Amino acid sequence: MPNQPVRSGSVVARRYRATRRIASGAMGEVWEGVHVELGTRVAIKVLRKEAFECREMVMRFAREALLLARIQSEHVVRVIDYVERGKHGPVLVMELLEGPTFADIVHRERVPIDEAVDVAIDVLRGLQAMHAAHVIHRDVKPGNIVLRQTSDGRRRAVLIDLGVGRLVEHEEADGSIDIEIEELTTSDRVVGTLEYMAPEQILDCQNADASVDVYAVGALLFRAVSGVHPFGDKRGVELIREKIHRPVPPLRTGRRDGIARRFEAIVQRSIAFKAKERYQNADELLADLERLRRDMRAQISPTLLATRHLRPIVPPPLPTMRVRARKRKVAIFAAAACAALFAACTSAYGGAHADVPAPAKAAADDDSAEVCR
């Protein structure tokens, strides 16, 4: 009997043993597992019975495997195996990514500019590899970004979930036209997550190009740093109407320094109302964000070096006469020196924490992965 439910201990596709369920949704489940002979830890993605009975969902599942197999990047999850038929239905086996999603972070707190830029740079490098393989993700959002811990203690952002991805028709080196899985794409209407979708993706999802993924990166930067979506808590038809007819409101980071102003300008250009005014590809946005990151680091490093040479201000010994007046002068001198030191450090660090209001509660954006089919 096909599509039997997976349980802990189940042997899936004859060579992977499921150990624990790590994610579950309306259409499928993801299990941590291990190769029964090699001992390699993997992630096993399977469809629920309801999805298995839907031909379109099965085709989407196969498409995700085919698209992932085309891409080689440390910033895109790697596919290991795909089994189309078996007692558990179609099975997609991928590398196991351990770490929170970016959604876990942005739903909890506002993200500092430097951390948001780091994530966006990783995502854009993943998109570069995808677009070079003629693949459009079409659902870039915080919930589809896993923050993986690396051996040096840093976090690397990795893109997942190409279930609504699109393979763009293109000419191969031998002159043939690759339309490998275009038939399913043209049957789609609107797919993606509204909060991160470009207006043209809403209006014409079938012909969405690489620029819609770049728009989504700008939208997630806005969400991460401000704590709200570009159009606030609007949802559904109201959000569609706003996106199609109105420019995006300005981003407010709560900072007034040069780095913050440059960041705001980059984000606003990424999600500009008119497509021709935006970054046209991942390379352009990546170049601007990498320059911004270099300048941020250049501001911080000299400050850290300078503070090593600072010495505490020690007032001279007080004489026995006129103690009260002398104490007042010393107190004023010390307070002024501390204020000057604080101002200098704040300026040098780019006002990293100046005038930042508390995180705002935003709508749960990752529950609307597919708007309409």
Catalytic residue check, 139: yes
The predicted pLDDT at position 169 comes to 66
Determine, yes or no, domain membership for 307: no
Identify the bridge partners of residue 171 per DSSP, sorted by sequence position: 177
Domain boundary among 95, 116, 148: 95
pTM score, whole prediction = 0.77
Q: What average pLDDT does range 13-23 have in this prediction? A: 94
Q: Are residues 156 and 63 in the same domain?
A: no
Q: Of 72, 68, 71, 70, whose CA–CA distance to 43 is shortest?
A: 68
Q: Which of 48-52, 53-57, 119-123, 344-348 has the lowest mean pLDDT?
A: 344-348
The answer on pLDDT for 4 being more than 80 is yes
Mean pLDDT of 100-123: 97
| Same domain, yes or no: 91 and 232 | no
With residue 105 as reference, give the H or E element that holds it.
helix 102-106
Q: Is pLDDT at 147 greater than 50 in this prediction?
A: yes
Instruction: Output the average pLDDT for the chain.
Output: 80
Is residue 89 located within the same domain as residue 179?
no
What's the mean pLDDT in 134-159?
A: 94
Which member of 118, 122, 139, 257 is catalytic? 139
Instruction: Assess whether pLDDT exceeds 70 at residue 366.
Output: no
- Alpha-carbon span 103 to 119, nearest angstrom: 12
Q: For residue 27, what are the domain limits?
A: 11-95
Q: Tell whether 213 and 361 lie within a shared domain.
A: yes
Considering the domain architecture, whether residues 17 and 164 belong to the same structural domain is answered as no
pLDDT in tens, 311-328: 343 444 544 444 444 444
Could you tell me if 69 and 33 lie in one domain?
A: yes
Q: Is 60 exceeded by the pLDDT of residue 160? A: yes
Residue 21 belongs to a domain: yes
Count Cβ neighbours within 10 Å for each residue of 193-206 and write b for 16 or more, e otherwise: bbbbbbbbbbeebe
Total domains in the fold of the chain = 2
Residue 147: inside a domain: yes
50 and 145 housed in the same domain: no
Q: Are 26 and 13 in contact (CB under 8 A)?
A: no
Closest CA to 168 of 186, 150, 151, 153: 186
**Residue 365 burial by Cβ neighbours in a 10 Å radius (0-12, 13-18, 19+):** buried
**End-to-end Cα separation, the chain, in angstroms:** 29
CATH number of domain containing 241:
1.10.510.10
Is residue 295 over pLDDT 50? yes
Based on the domain organization, do 238 and 285 belong to the same domain? yes
Domain with residue 19: its CATH number is 3.30.200.20
DSSP 153-207: S-EEEEE---TT-EEPPEE-TTS-EE-TTHHHHTT--S-B-GGG--HHHHH-GGG
Distance (Å, rounded) from C-alpha 197 to C-alpha 194?
5
320 within domain boundaries: no
Instruction: Give the pLDDT of residue 178.
Output: 43
What would the two tokens of residue 187 be? 């049957």
The per-residue pLDDT for 344 is 42
Last residue of a domain, one of 69, 95, 121: 95
Q: Is the pLDDT of residue 361 over 70?
A: no
Residue of 230, 353, 197, 218 whose CA lies nearest to 284: 218
